[in-house]
Amino acid sequence: MPGIIQLLPDHVANQIAAGEVVQRPSSVVKELLENAVDAGATDIKLIIKDAGKTLIQVIDNGKGMNATDAHMCFERHATSKIRQAEDLFALHTKGFRGEALASIAAVAHVELKTRQPQDELGLHLTIEGGKFLQEDVAALPEGSSFSVKNLFFNIPARRNFLKSDVIEFRHIVDEFQRVALVHPEIYFSFYHNSSEVHILPPGNFRQRIVGIFAGKTNEKLVPVQEETDILRIGGFVGKPEFSKKNKGEQFFFVNGRYIKSGYLHHAIMNAYEGLLKDGMQPSYYLLLEVPTQSIDINIHPTKTEVKFDDEQALYAILRSSVKHSLGQFNVAPILDFERDANLDTPYHYKDKDADSVYPTIQVDAGFNPFADEKPAKAPSSSSKQKYKIPETSSWESLYVGLQSDTDSVWEPEQVAFESEPIHSVLFAEAETDQTTPARCYQLQRKYIVNPIKSGLVVIDQQRAHQRILYEQFLGNMTVEQAASQQLLFPIELTFSTHEIGAILELEASLTATGFTFDAIVNDRIVLSGIPPQITPDQISEVLHELLHDLQEGIPGNSFSQNDIIAQSMAKSMSIKNGMFLSEKEQENLINALFACKAPDVSPFQKTTFITLRVEDLDKRFAL
C-alpha cells in the first residue's frame, strides 16, 4: 500500500515559500535592494510601475554574477552568505536565507541582466513561474538589473488580496527608506510611473535623513552618541515639539539592519517622559551596534524581528543615552550645579583692590523737584496759532479747591454705598436653577445625560460628534458645496515628497471638504482656506493624521476614498472626552445627532448612545 505522505514538487514548494517571503510588492523591493547593497553597489536605482504590480526593477553597479551564480541564485536555499550554522551568529550582510529570488521567480516574470567587471559580455536570463525560458549573452553595463513583472500572475487569489496603489506604494516607500537611510554612502534614485520620488546623493547620516524627509527635518534633530562594551549608539532623535500622532518616522537599525522592537521603543518613550502630550509619538533614527554573537536575527522570515541576549541592559543604556541628549541640548529641563563662568571676576578687574572698584555716587545738592519751572512752548500748527499754558505761582495751586470738590462728589456716594443692602447674586441664581431643572447635563466630561419620556438617554459626546461631522463631510464631498473660512494670512505646511504626491491625488476631495490650496509644490503646501470646523492650529495635525489613515487603509474606488477621508477628518476634529460643554452646546449636539441618518453608531460602528428606561431602574432598586 503506497504511503500518503509525498514530497511537494519544487514549483509548489516555491509558491508556498513565496507566501512567507513575498507578501506584497514591497517585499520584492526589500529583497532586491538588499541584494544590491550586498553586491557592493555604490549606485542603486529603483523603478516601479503601478505600485509594483506591473513592474519592479532594481539596477545596481555592483560586482555582478557569472553564468553559474546567475542560475544558482534562483534555486531554493542557495546563498553566498553562509556556509555553516555558526555563520548565522556572525552575519554582516542583509540576505542569507537563499529563499528570496527563488520565491519571487515562482510567482512573477523575472528578467536578470548581469555582468562582472572582468567580463566583456554579460548574461540575460528570462524566467517565468520558476521556469527558465531564455538565456542569452549580451553587451551589458557592469552590475546587475533585476526586473520583476506581473507579480502573482499565476496566483490570482493572492493578487486580488493586494490593496490599492496608494497603500502598496506607501509600503514600497517604507522599504526604500529603511534601506536608503542606513546606507548614506550609496547614491539612491527612486522613480514611480516615470515620476521622480527620491534622488539621494551620497552624504552623511544627517544629510540622508533630511534628503528623505525634507521639510524642516534638520531643525528637529537632536544627536545621540554613546559607546559601551555591549552597545554603541549613534543617530538622532526628534525634538518633542515635532512629535506626531502616528509612528511614521521611527527607525531602529541594529548592525546595519532595520528591526522592529516594542521593547526598545518603550525605552525611547520612557526617555521622553513628561515632554510629550498624550498620544504623541517622537521621531528617532538610531543606529545600534552590538556584538554579532549576542543577537539572533533568524527568528522571522522578514528578518525585522530580532532577539538580544541582554535586553534589560540595552533598555537601560538606550533610555539613559536619549534622556542625556535631550537634556544636553536644552530640549529637556535639567539641573546643573556647575559653576557659571558669567559670575567670574572680569579679567581686567582681577588685580584691582576691592576699594578701588566701588561705584561712585554723584548727588546734586541744589536740585529741587518742586522748584518753579518755565512753561513749555506749545507746538505751532500750520496756521501759526499759539496756545498759552497758564502759569501757576507754585505747586500748591494744583490742589486749590480739591478738598471741597472731594467732599461734594464722594461723600453722598459713600453714604449711598454703605446703606445699600447686600445681596448674593450667586445664591439667587442657584435658587432659580433649582426650580427650573436642566434638560441635560454632562457626566465626567464624557457623557451627556438627557431625560426623556421613558427614562434617560446617555450619549457619548465624542462618538456623537464624530457621526455628525462624518455625515457633514460626506455630504459636502458628494454635492461639492462645502463652506470654507478664508484665512487672513495663508498658512504654509511642509511634507515629505510621497506625502505631497498623496495630497495631489486627493486635492479634489479635500477641496470639497473646505480646504483651499494656493500652491502644492515640492515639499510644501500653501492653504488660504480651511473647513469652518477646524482652527488654524489644528491644520497640520489633521492633515498628517488624514494622510496616515489614507495610506493605511484607503480602498480603491472613489466613493470609499471619500468615505475614508470623511472618517479620518471626523475623528481628528471631533470634540474629545474630557472637554467641557455648556448646556447650550449639549443641546445642539443632541439635536444634531438625532438629525443624522444613522445616529445610533459612530462612523467606526461604535454605539453613540444608550437608553435607560424607568422600568430598568425600578428593577435595579427592587433588588
What's 94's domain CATH number?
Answer: 3.30.565.10
Residues 232 and 315 in one domain: yes
Q: Give me the CATH number covering residue 520.
A: 3.30.1370.100
Residues 129 and 169 in one domain: yes
Q: Which of 97, 106, 78, 98 is nearest to 14 (CA)?
A: 106
* pLDDT reported for residue 488: 86
Residue 438 lies in a domain: no
Domain boundary among 170, 203, 236: 203
Per-residue burial over 162-194, b = 16 or more CB atoms within 10 Å of its CB, e = otherwise: bbbbbbbbbbbbbbbbbbbbbbbebbbbbbbee
Q: Which of 530, 558, 562 is nearest to 549 (CA)?
A: 562
Domain boundary among 293, 328, 363: 328
Residue 196 lies in a domain: yes
Residue 420 lies in a domain: no
Residue 370 lies in a domain: no
Residues 453 and 602 in one domain: yes
Q: What are 607's three cell numbers?
A: 454605539
Q: How many domains does the chain have?
A: 3
Residues 102 and 159 in one domain: yes
280: left (phi over 0), alpha (psi -120 to 50) or beta: beta
* pLDDT reported for residue 302: 56
**Residue holding cell 455648556?**
582
Question: In the chain, which stretches have pLDDT less than 50?
Answer: 381-384, 386-387, 392, 405-436, 554-558
Residues 169 and 73 in one domain: yes
Residue 2 lies in a domain: no
- Note down the domain range covering 315: 209-328
The size of the chain, in residues, is: 623
Residue 378 lies in a domain: no
Residues 220 and 100 in one domain: no
Residue 33 lies in a domain: yes
Residues 52 and 111 in one domain: yes
Amino acid at site 338? E
Residues 126 and 15 in one domain: yes
Q: Which residues pair with 134 in a beta bridge?
A: 126
Residues 192 and 223 in one domain: no
Residues 572 and 502 in one domain: yes
Residue 178 lies in a domain: yes
* pLDDT reported for residue 415: 44
Quickly list DSSP for 457-507. Answer: EEEEHHHHHHHHHHHHHHHHHHHT----EEEEEEEEEE--HHHHHHHHHTH
CB–CB of 269/319 below 8 Å?
no
CB–CB of 226/218 below 8 Å?
no
CB–CB of 518/526 below 8 Å?
yes
Residues 23 and 148 in one domain: yes
> Regarding beta strands 524-530 and 485-494, do their DSSP bridges make them parallel or antiparallel, or are they unpaired?
antiparallel
**Residue holding cell 460626506?**
474
CB–CB of 29/172 below 8 Å?
yes
Q: Give me the CATH number covering residue 246.
A: 3.30.230.10
Residues 160 and 276 in one domain: no
Domain boundary among 177, 203, 229: 203
Cα dihedral sign for 551, 553, 559, 562?
negative
Quickly list DSSP for 522-564. Answer: TTEEEEEEE-TTS-GGGHHHHHHHHHHHHHHH--SSHHHHHHH
* pLDDT reported for residue 508: 83
- What is the value of pTM for the model shown? 0.69
